[in-house]
Amino acid sequence: MSSPRQAAHALLNLVLNEGRLLSEAPAQKTLADLPGADRARAQRLALETLRNIERADKVLKPHLRKTPPPEVMNLLRLGTVELAQGGDAHGVVNDLVNIIAEHRKFGGMKGLVNAVLRKAAADAPEKFEIFRIPRLPKWLRGPLARAYGPEAVAAMEAAHHAGAPLDITVKSDPAAWAETLGGTLLPWGSIRLPDAGQMTSLEGFEAGAWWVQDAAAALPAKLLDAKPGETALDLCAAPGGKTMQLAAAGAQVTALDISESRLERVRQNLTRTGLEAEIICADALAHEGSFDAVLLDAPCSATGTIRRHPDLPHAKTGEEFGALIELQARMLAHAATLVKPGGRLVYCTCSLLPDEGEVQVEEFLEGHPDFRADNSGFEPLGLSSEWTTEEGGLRLRPDYLADQGGMDGFYIAVLKRA
C-alpha cells in the first residue's frame, strides 16, 4: 500500500508528465487502495503542489545545476511546497528520499533529492511569502486578459490560489440547515461550510438532506425555476446536482447523459436523497421531446473550476476548445427544439471564456427570434447587476464574493420561448 506522499507524487506525474486530469480513471486508481484519511491527504498534497508549482520552481532553481528528470522534479516540487507550508523537515525529507530510493530508474538520485530538499527546507517558507501569486499559463491568461483586463485576471488568480470552501445545496429549509451545520447562507440558498472536515460525517448527509454543489453551479437550476408538476429536462445531467435541484422543486425530471458510468453516479445521488427522475443514457443531440423547462450544462473547457481543480491548467493546452465551442452551438440549437412554446431554456457553462458563454448566446439569439434572454430572475436571488452581460446573461467569476470564499466561474443565460 502506498503512502499519501507516494500517491501524491504519482498524481503529479499523471498531470504534469501525461497531461491527465485528477478526475480521470488513472488518478482515481492511484488513490483507490488508500484509506479515506490518507486519500484525502494525498489529494490535498497534490492540489497544493499544483497551485504552487511556480513558487516551488523558483525556490528550487538556485539549488539545481540542471533540471532533473520530470519524476524527480515533481518529487522536489511536492517536498518544497509541503516544507513551505510548515511540514516537518525531517519527516518530509526522509520520506521523499526513501520514495525516490525505491524507484527502479531514478533510485540513484536520492542524494540529490536529500541535498536539495534540505536546502529548500531552510528558505522555502520565507520565499513563498515573497513570491507573487502563481499565474495562469499563457494560453489561458492571454484570452482572459483580453476579455476582462489584467487586474481582473490577477484577482481570479488570487481566488484560484486560495482554493474553495465546501458549498452544499439542501432539499428544503436552507436557513435551518445553515444554522444546524454552522454554515453561511448565501442569498440564493447555497450553504457555505469553510471548515467542513469529513463531509460524509456531517449531519444530514446519510439522510440525503443535502449534496455538495458549488454555489455558482447551483444557480442554473435556480434560475430555470422549475415548478411542481412541470416537465423538466436536464441535458448532460451527471453527476446530478442540477437534476436533484429540479426534482426537489417538484418537477417531473428527465436526466439525460451520454455516459452510462456517469449516470450511475446520478442514480446513487438520487437514491441517497430520496428524489426521483427518469434517467436516459443517450446523445443529447439525438433526444426528442417537448418540455416546459430545459437545462443545458454544455460540455466546456471547465476553466471556471480551477480554484477546485488546479490540475486543469497543467493538463490542458486549449487546443481542444475549438471543437467544444462548435459542439456547444449545436447542442444549444437542438436544446431549443425541445422547449415548449412559452417554455424556457437555461444554457450554462463552467467556463471563463466568452466564446463559450456570451458569444454563444448572442449568436443563438440572432438566429432564433422566437427566444429572448430573460434576466428578471437575477435580482430576486441577490445577484449583482454588475454581473449581467450585454446580451442578457449572467457572468460569474472566481473573484466575485472573494471575501466570502469566491465561486466557480460560470456563464448562465435564461432563454424564454415565445
Choice among 236, 300, 348, 350 that is catalytic: 350
Spatial separation of the C-alpha atoms in residues 407 and 212, rounded to whole Å:
14
Give the residue among 403, 377, 409, 379 at the shortest CA–CA distance from 184: 403
- Compute how many other C-beta atoms are within 10 angstroms of the C-beta atom of residue 2: 16
33 grid coordinates: 487502495
Residue 106, beta-bridge partner list = none
Q: Please give the single-letter amino acid code of residue 46.
A: A
Spatial separation of the C-alpha atoms in residues 80 and 337, rounded to whole Å:
54
Q: Is 300 a catalytic residue?
A: no
Q: Does residue 239 have a cis peptide bond before it, meaning omega lies within 30 degrees of 0?
A: yes
Spatial separation of the C-alpha atoms in residues 34 and 45, rounded to whole Å:
14
Spatial separation of the C-alpha atoms in residues 415 and 345, rounded to whole Å:
5
Spatial separation of the C-alpha atoms in residues 400 and 188, rounded to whole Å:
15
Residues 6+ apart with CB under 8 A from 155: 397, 399, 402
Strand segments, DSSP code E, in 217-298 are: 231-235, 252-257, 278-281, 291-297
Cα→Cα distances 152→54, 146, 155, 163, 392, Å: 20, 10, 5, 17, 21
**Catalytic positions, written as ranges:** 350
